[in-house]
Amino acid sequence: MAKIIPFKGLRPTRDKVSLVSCRSFEDYNAVEIAYLLDYNPFSFIHVLNPAYVNQSKVTYDKRFKMVAAKLNDFKKEGILIKEEKPTYYLYQISTKTWSFTGIVAGTSIEDYQSNVIKRHEDTLEYRVRLFKEYLYHSKFNTEPVLMMYPDQEDINQWINIKKDEKPLYDFSTVTKERHTIWRIDQETDVEWLTNQFTDIQELYIADGHHRFASAELLQTEHADDGTLRPHNSVMTYLIAESNIKIYEFNRIIHDLNNHTKEEFLGLLGQKFDVVNKEQQLWKPAKKMEFGMYLDGDFYALTLKDKKQSDSILQQLDAQILYDEVLHPILGLDDLRNDARIDYVPGNESIVTIKELVDDGEYEVGFMLYPTNVSEIKKVADNDLIMPPKSTYIEPKFMNGLFIYEI
């Protein structure tokens, strides 16, 4: 039984929402950041990175405290305002070709600990601890964890009704995305939606495993020291599993592990049917197919032995590629930390892979077929962990739209 929790969030005033909201900090290059900081005094980038000029000279703790101070400046200046009562939000992100609609709510740390909220990715301890320190010193989070729930007809109908009402925000960005947000603060709506989720047995983290783990660690280490507000939930974007978009993470490798091209193709031929597609921009159309770009040509690789394994992990294309190619032939052990491998999300054109290899920095690229929701859930249900960089999941969120204070 899942528990969702309304919260009194901070948010931008209506007249400034398009100026305040920004993409994730990592999405900007240095020139874009400098431009936003110089020419947009309302950008949430000012909050996220107040020490951008001399970052190398500022410790993490000091930087995080500066983030908290800048957030307080935005509050004092009236750029951000606080909700008067606990609230949910209905949030739609759309372009001409796709649309995502979900519910912004708190989800329970206790549910995470009891495995009502399930995970499929591993976390790195240093990242969990670093973001925990960020939360501890800054006292807020603005990027919700992406969470899937099984499609519910009653919730779908309710969402469609609410979307006919006047939104709180409706604005577009320079990336041609439209963001529409409805505030759900009427007591009857809040109670109804809360009760709907009590009938859902499990929720699945789609993206944001480190953020949830950091929030749990924060509660565990600081719940009783009086330095934080009562803290038992994490800000989450809840989306029906049919509305989520899962891309693959493609692999690019710097070298062939001292194999010549001919030796490498010969070793691949022992496990795969290898077909040279030459200049055809070829990518896999089903499971157990892999695309490859090597020395100016695209190749189709089809696994010869397609026997089904009892392990869901052994059925994943990312695991198959690791077991049959990356580890035994290319000598890659730690896919998370090995400097010889990098990753290109599947929402980018495979031309990107071609260009990276043609430029000479990488020797070979592999294209995978995307994992599906069923596979993610099976991995999570069996308390297993997917291979690193198995999925690139959308939607992605704007920062500064909702601020969850701790």
- Are 280 and 235 members of one domain? no
Q: Is residue 15 part of a domain?
A: yes
- Are 126 and 113 members of one domain? yes
Give the list of residues 6+ apart from residue 296 with CB closer than 8 angstroms, or none.
Answer: 358
Q: What HEC string does the chain produce? A: CCCEECECCEEECHHHHHHHCECCHHHCCHHHHHHHHHHCCCCCHHHHCCCHHHHHHCCHHHHHHHHHHHHHHHHHCCCEEECCCCEEEEEEEECCCCEEEEEEEEEEHHHHHCCCEECCCCCCHHHHHHHHHHHHHHCEECCCEEEEECCCHHHHHHHHHHCCCCCCEEEECCCCCEEEEEEECCHHHHHHHHHHHCCCCCEEEEECHHHHHHHHHHHHHHCCCCCCCCCCEEEEEEEEHHHCEEECEEEEECCCCCCCHHHHHHHHHHHEEEEEEECCCCCCCCCCEEEEEECCEEEEEEECCCCCCCCCHHHCHHHHHHHHHHCCCCCCCCCCCCCCEEEEECCCCHHHHHHHHHCCCCCEEEECCCCCHHHHHHHHHCCCCCCCCCCEEECCCCECCCEEEC
Q: Is residue 233 part of a domain?
A: yes
Cα–Cα–Cα angle for 359, 360, 363, rounded to 5 degrees:
125
User: Model confidence over 306-337: pLDDT tens digits?
Assistant: 776 678 888 999 999 999 999 999 999 988 88
User: Model confidence over 353-406: pLDDT tens digits?
Assistant: 999 999 999 999 999 999 999 999 999 999 999 988 999 999 999 999 999 998
- Are 214 and 294 members of one domain? no
From first CA to last CA, the distance across the chain in angstroms is: 25
d(CA 348, CA 293): 15
- Are 106 and 209 members of one domain? yes
Q: What is the CATH number of the domain that holds 255?
A: 3.30.1760
Cβ-contact 349, 283 below 8 angstroms? no
- Are 76 and 205 members of one domain? yes
Q: What is the CATH number of the domain that holds 167?
A: 3.90.1530.10
- Are 147 and 108 members of one domain? yes
User: Can you give the pLDDT at residue 228?
Assistant: 63
Q: How far, CA to CA in Å, does 181 sit from each of 91, 103, 171?
A: 5, 10, 9
What is the chain's pLDDT, residue by residue, as a tens digit (406 residues)? 899 999 999 999 999 999 999 988 888 888 988 888 899 999 999 999 875 555 556 788 888 999 999 999 999 999 999 999 999 999 999 999 999 999 999 999 999 999 999 999 988 899 999 999 999 999 999 999 999 999 999 999 999 999 999 999 999 998 899 999 999 999 999 999 999 999 999 999 999 999 999 999 999 888 766 666 667 899 999 999 999 999 999 999 999 999 999 999 999 999 999 999 999 999 999 999 999 999 999 999 999 987 766 788 889 999 999 999 999 999 999 888 899 999 999 999 999 999 999 999 999 999 999 999 999 999 999 999 998 899 999 999 999 999 999 8
Tell which residue, 186, 19, 220, 236, has the closest CA to residue 86.
186
- Are 97 and 127 members of one domain? yes
- Are 239 and 258 members of one domain? no
d(CA 130, CA 64): 10
- Are 347 and 293 members of one domain? yes
User: Can you give the pLDDT at residue 25?
Assistant: 83
- Are 206 and 274 members of one domain? no
Q: Is residue 383 part of a domain?
A: no
Tell which residue, 200, 197, 216, has the closest CA to residue 208.
216
User: Model confidence over 70-85: pLDDT tens digits?
Assistant: 999 999 999 999 999 9
Q: Is residue 380 part of a domain?
A: no
User: What phi and psi values does residue 257 have, to the nearest 5 degrees?
Assistant: 60, 45
Q: Is residue 141 part of a domain?
A: yes
In one-letter notation, the amino acid at residue 338 is: D
Cβ-contact 274, 303 below 8 angstroms? no
Please tell me the total count of domains within the chain: 2
Peptide bond into 167 cis (omega under 30): no
| Structural domain boundaries, residue 323 | 249-369
d(CA 127, CA 133): 10
User: Can you give the pLDDT at residue 226?
Assistant: 63
User: Can you give the pLDDT at residue 60?
Assistant: 84
d(CA 152, CA 130): 36
Tell which residue, 248, 262, 271, 257, has the closest CA to residue 333.
257
Tell which residue, 4, 11, 113, 128, has the closest CA to residue 405.
11
Q: What interhelical angle do 60-76 and 125-138 show, nearest 10?
A: 40
- Are 163 and 309 members of one domain? no
Cβ-contact 403, 256 below 8 angstroms? no
Q: Is residue 389 part of a domain?
A: no
User: Can you give the pLDDT at residue 154?
Assistant: 97
Q: Is residue 386 part of a domain?
A: no
- Are 175 and 254 members of one domain? no
Q: Is residue 376 part of a domain?
A: no
d(CA 140, CA 340): 36
User: Can you give the pLDDT at residue 59?
Assistant: 83
The 10 Å Cβ neighbour count of residue 249 is 20
Give the list of residues 6+ apart from residue 70 with CB closer than 8 angstroms, or none.
Answer: 46, 47, 50
